[in-house]
């Protein structure tokens, strides 16, 4: 727990900074007109096609612009599906070496670190993801999940709210917010 806590302050500072001011060097995919248009559609409260839009955004965010980088991403994801987090981490780390500005590489490796039980490194990679793509609603939800696991409920709530502001349709985020709000109310009593 002590190691994981050492990552919390930089992650929270980066989280607040990147929500307030998107970095000028954010990845091309996150700033593309197509992604921005899809994100605007996704925010519509009565959006019935939200799952399709979510998949389109994920596909666009998964395009690195390099065939070899895309292959590393796919191999890492295949390893994750097979439950082999160590191999996935190796592929995602190679991908990050090859394409250090590719946000999805960090997000995918954060998932692998989480599966391997390394919360501190997962938090660090989520920070890197959000530095490159501050609108990455899945990374924000992942950050909320990690903060919830660490019993940092105020921070978890902030991360889940940030995710819901970008993508208001995810039932897992809604359920997490309800769960955390009940917990915070219980703690206040």
Determine the Cα–Cα distance for residues 131 and 158; give it in Å rounded to an integer: 17
How many structural domains comprise the chain?
A: 1
CATH number of the domain encompassing residue 143: 1.25.40.10
Q: What is the reported pLDDT for 189?
A: 57
Instruction: Write out the H or E segment, with its range, that includes residue 125.
Output: helix 119-132
- Report how far residue 155's alpha carbon sits from residue 23's, in angstroms, rounded to the nearest whole number: 21
Range 94-113 average pLDDT: 97
User: At 17, is the secondary structure helix, strand, or coil?
Assistant: helix
Residue 73, pLDDT above cutoff 90: yes
- Percent of the chain at pLDDT exceeding 90: 76
Q: Which residue has the higher pLDDT, 188 or 141?
A: 141
Which residue has 């593309």 as its token pair?
32
| Confidence (pLDDT) at 186 | 78
pLDDT tens per residue across span 116-171:
999 999 999 999 999 999 999 999 999 999 999 999 999 999 999 999 999 999 99
More confident position, 7 or 43: 43
Share in percent of the chain as helix, strand, coil (round to 5): 80, 0, 20
What pLDDT, on a 0 to 100 scale, did the predictor assign at position 80?
96
Q: With contact defined as beta carbons under 8 Å apart, do 67 and 142 qualify?
A: no
Mean pLDDT for the chain overall: 85
Which H or E run includes 94?
helix 85-98
Range of the domain at 32: 2-21+28-188
């Amino acid at each position: 727990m002590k190691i994981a806590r050492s990552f919390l302050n930089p992650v929270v500072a980066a989280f607040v900074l990147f929500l307030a001011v998107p970095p000028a060097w954010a990845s091309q995919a996150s700033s593309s007109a197509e992604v921005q248009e899809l994100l605007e559609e996704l925010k519509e409260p009565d959006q019935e096609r939200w799952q399709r839009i979510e998949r389109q955004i994920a596909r666009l965010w998964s395009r690195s612009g390099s065939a070899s980088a895309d292959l590393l991403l796919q191999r890492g994801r295949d390893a994750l599906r097979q439950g082999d987090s160590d191999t996935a981490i190796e592929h995602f780390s190679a991908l990050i070496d090859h394409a250090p500005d590719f946000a999805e590489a960090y997000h995918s490796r954060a998932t692998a670190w989480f599966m391997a039980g390394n919360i501190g490194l997962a938090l660090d990679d989520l920070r890197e993801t959000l530095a490159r793509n501050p609108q990455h609603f899945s990374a924000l939800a992942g950050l909320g999940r990690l903060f919830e696991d660490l019993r940092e409920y105020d921070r978890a709530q902030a991360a889940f709210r940030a995710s819901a502001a970008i993508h208001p349709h995810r039932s897992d985020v809604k359920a997490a917010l309800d769960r955390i709000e009940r917990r915070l109310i219980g703690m206040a009593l």
